[in-house]
Amino acid sequence: MEQNNICRHNEFCGGCTYQGTDYGEQLRTKESAVRSLFSSAEITPARFAPIEGCPREQRFGYRNKMEYTFGDMVKDGPLCLGMHKIKNFMSIVTVDECQLVHPDFNRILRFTLDFCTDRGYVKYHKKSHLGLLRNLVVRRGVRTGELLVNIVTSSQSEFDEDAWKEGLLALPLDCRIVGIMHTLNDGLADTVACDELRLLYGREYYYEELLGLRFIVHEFAFFQTNVDAVERLYSEALALIPDLEGKTVFDLYCGTGTISQIAARSAARVLGVEIVPESVESARENAALNGLDNCEFVCGDVFAVLDTRQDKPDVIIVDPPRAGMSQEAVTRIASYGVKQILYISCNPKSLVKNLAWFAELGYEAEYVRPYDNFPMTRHVETVVLMSKANT
């Protein structure tokens, strides 16, 4: 999906930074930023490859998940549903013509906003903690065309579940809704959390396909946001480790086990560690779905899990969240003394901090390559292959 015009929400929405900027310039800016961070940290890789961009047809409509927020643009103004306003966390911009998502997302958002407005439902206020409406979550299986829709509210008043469900199912959509949910969340934090999940229609998961494998993705499980781009990234990243035959691989911060299962097709055994229970559940289901019996998935903090294990890896892959890894986790990982560690990062700032710690423990950055998996935004992924010095 390619767009030619600057998004009409661009003036206020904080989702995109580079709308209207030449794509080549976007790539140069992102690569320069990553190189600058490496230089400031005095990390000089043996090879720093040019940034990998997205093909023209994949620069828009690539997001397979959105967490929208209910609120208002101005205090006590009309109900809005969308993204936080630039530099104003309390204000919400309705984004029913967003270019980074499939058009079905915009149709579902518009219907839900109109539905809630017509019934006089009130937004949940972040400071007073009063009100009903909190979030709308839409997820899509890119290869399967399956949609999940989940509205998140407090339990302070009633929400007409049946009418909303029937309205969604009547929408003229390109994809197919396979699950509709209502999540009750009375927590004080401004996050999508679940006190109670009500399944109104279908199932609470969708199917996705990635590099010849099939994945079950539960509503609250992590999955890569840009399927086409992550296929390229994973293929090229794993190719940096040419021979996994007969080896034991530790995939740390493994999410729903995508890298684990891709590696398991060659490796003798893979251990995946992840702290989110829903993701671990999905990983186990997915391994069974794909007939892979050489994968083990453990739920828990990486350092705590490794500290109790007696088995040792030949290769370690890490794909941590934006905060990166704790120093104790880095120390524990380095203590295995494996020849190669593959680091896949979604935040170059935490990446270079972790690489500096690894350098103190004898690991050198052998190869670095940034990936632009999220065009029009600030985000950049980076793959780093580290090697044990003097091996």
Catalytic residue (one of 80, 175, 295, 346): 346
Contact 169, 191 (CB under 8 A): no
Residue with tokens 């992102």: 30
Give CA separation, 288 vs 245, 272, 285, 337, 371, in Å.
21, 14, 5, 31, 31
β pairing state of 196-202 and 176-184: antiparallel
If one counts every other C-beta atom within 10 angstroms of the C-beta of residue 170, the result is 9
Dist. CA 178–CA 150, nearest whole Å: 11
E strands present in the chain: 47-48, 65-72, 79-85, 88-94, 133-141, 146-153, 176-184, 196-202, 205-210, 213-218, 248-252, 269-274, 295-299, 315-318, 340-345, 363-371, 381-388
What the block records as the tokens of 125 is 């206020």
What the block records as the tokens of 179 is 């699950």
Asked if residue 253 belongs to a known ligand binding site, the reply is: yes
β pairing state of 315-318 and 340-345: parallel
The 10 Å CB-count burial string (b at 16+, else e) for 285-296 is bbbeebebebbe
Asked if residue 371 belongs to a known ligand binding site, the reply is: no
DSSP string, 222-291: ---S-HHHHHHHHHHHHTTS---BT-EEEEES-TTTHHHHHHHTTBSEEEEEES-HHHHHHHHHHHHHTT
Asked if residue 58 belongs to a known ligand binding site, the reply is: no
Dist. CA 377–CA 379, nearest whole Å: 6
β pairing state of 133-141 and 65-72: antiparallel
Q: Is 346 a catalytic residue?
A: yes
Contact 286, 313 (CB under 8 A): no
Give CA separation, 20 vs 4, 16, 27, 42, 80, in Å.
9, 10, 13, 34, 25
Dist. CA 280–CA 270, nearest whole Å: 14
Report the catalytic residues: 346
From the annotation, which residues make up the binding site for S-adenosyl-L-methionine?
224, 253, 274, 319
